Structure formats: C-alpha cells, structure tokens
A and B are shown apart, each in its own frame.
Chain A
Amino acid sequence: GAVVSQHPSRVICKSGTSVKIECRSLDFQATTMFWYRQFPKQSLMLMATSNEGSKATYEQGVEKDKFLINHASLTLSTLTVTSAHPEDSSFYICSATSGTGGANYGYTFGSGTRLTVV
C-alpha cells in the first residue's frame, strides 16, 4: 500500500530559529501533498496544499511567510517553520495523494512531527 514517511518525528528548537520537516511518498508519485496542524485533543487543521512544481495554496489565516512549503519533486515536500516561537509548538502531519482529478482515491498520512519551541 501507499506509504508516506515524515521526518523528524520529534524536534526541539530554540525560539527564533527555523525548522524543516520532510514528507516523502515512498512507493507512489504524490501529485498533491497537504500539511496539517493538530493541537492537543483537537482535529486536524489544513494549513496548505501543494502541487508538484507549483506554489502552495494556503488556507485562510495561515502565514505563508512563516510556514514555507516546497514541493519540488513528485516524492518530496518540505515544510519550514521560520523564526519559530513557542506558539508554533504543535503536531504537524503531512498527507499525500496520487490522484490527479478523479474522485476515486484516498489520502495517505505521515506519522507526524512533534515540534517544541523553547
């Protein structure tokens, strides 16, 4: 089955520094990748959608200059949290799909990254 690898699983960084999270599709070409944020005991909030080779589309209220997304290949997307602050501490999850427009496909999720900014 489709597998998405997300790295690192945990990261602690100092306030003001930047952190990069990687999301890789291991056995399929991910035409579209998604980045979510999840607060404790809450559901997933979609941050942005990225298509390979295009600029990411950010959801309303998400700062595109703080959360930089790159989807340079069909198997890799990265999320960089720039100038991180304690309020950016959260659980970040990526998702990928190989669907190119048809309705009959699902989404595969990575294992998530716990970011703690101190």
Chain B
Amino acid sequence: KQEVTQIPAALSVPEGENLVLNCSFTDSAIYNLQWFRQDPGKGLTSLLLIQSSQREQTSGRLNASLDKSSGRSTLYIAASQPGDSATYLCAVRPGGYNKLIFGAGTRLAVHP
C-alpha cells in the first residue's frame, strides 16, 4: 500500500529564506508526482507535475525534484515571500491506478 509522508509538518520562516519541503513515498512504482498549494478554506492549486521519467521541474521560484528509486521528492522555494504562506501538499499517482495518494502536507508561514 502506497503511503506518502511529508516533513516537516509545519514551518515558520522569515521572509527571504530559501526553503526545502520534503516528500517521501513507500512504493517507487508511480506514474507521476504532483505538488499542490492549498490556502485556508480553499481548493488545491497545482504547482508542479513531475513524470516518473523526469528528475525535476521548475516554475518561477519553485523547483521540484524527484528520485523515484529512493522514493523522495523535494520542493525548493527560493526567496520566500509572505504570499507563499499556505499548506503544500505532495501527491503521487501509483502505477496502474487513476487516483492520487496525498501526504498530510507542510503548513508554511512566511513572516515579514
């Protein structure tokens, strides 16, 4: 059974810091991995989608890496801003399945 774990559960940093959010999964047989952002009381916004054959994806200040063999992904946020404050969720699509398995998320607070 695929399980997804995110570390840390919560993070509070001053503005301007570079951040690393971690995601690990127990079964390396995945189609892809997706990082989402969720603001309080809102739905999910897709940030980055990494296919199983890819090593990383970049969008603006965000960079996500994938090491499928070790079951790990990292979301790197450069020069954090207060507007980055949200919960970041990692989800994998297991091979052979049409669904996502989510981690519990990392709650990020960036203060001025």
| Chain A contact residues, CB within 8 Å of chain B | 6, 32, 34, 41-44, 46, 49, 91, 93, 95, 97, 99, 101, 103-104, 106-112, 114
Contact = CB atoms under 8 A, between A and B. Distances in A.
B73 to A, nearest CB: 15
Contacts of B102: 43-44
Give the interface SS of chain B, mostly helix, strand, loop or mixed. Answer: strand
B34 interface: yes
A68 B34 CA distance: 28
Given A43-B102, A44-B102, A103 B52 contact: yes
B106 to A, nearest CB: 11
B13 interface: no
Which range contains the number of B residues in contact with the other chain? 20 to 34
Interface of B: 31-32, 34, 36, 41-46, 49, 51-52, 89, 93, 95, 98-100, 102-105, 107
A32 B104 contact: no
A46 B46 contact: no
Contact of B99 (A6, A41, A46, A104): A46
Nearest to A108: B46
Contact of B51 (A43, A101, A103): A103
Nearest to A45: B102
A91 B41 contact: yes
Contacts of A49: 98-99
A49 B101 CA distance: 13
Contacts of B99: 34, 46, 49
A18 B51 CA distance: 40
B41 A43 contact: no
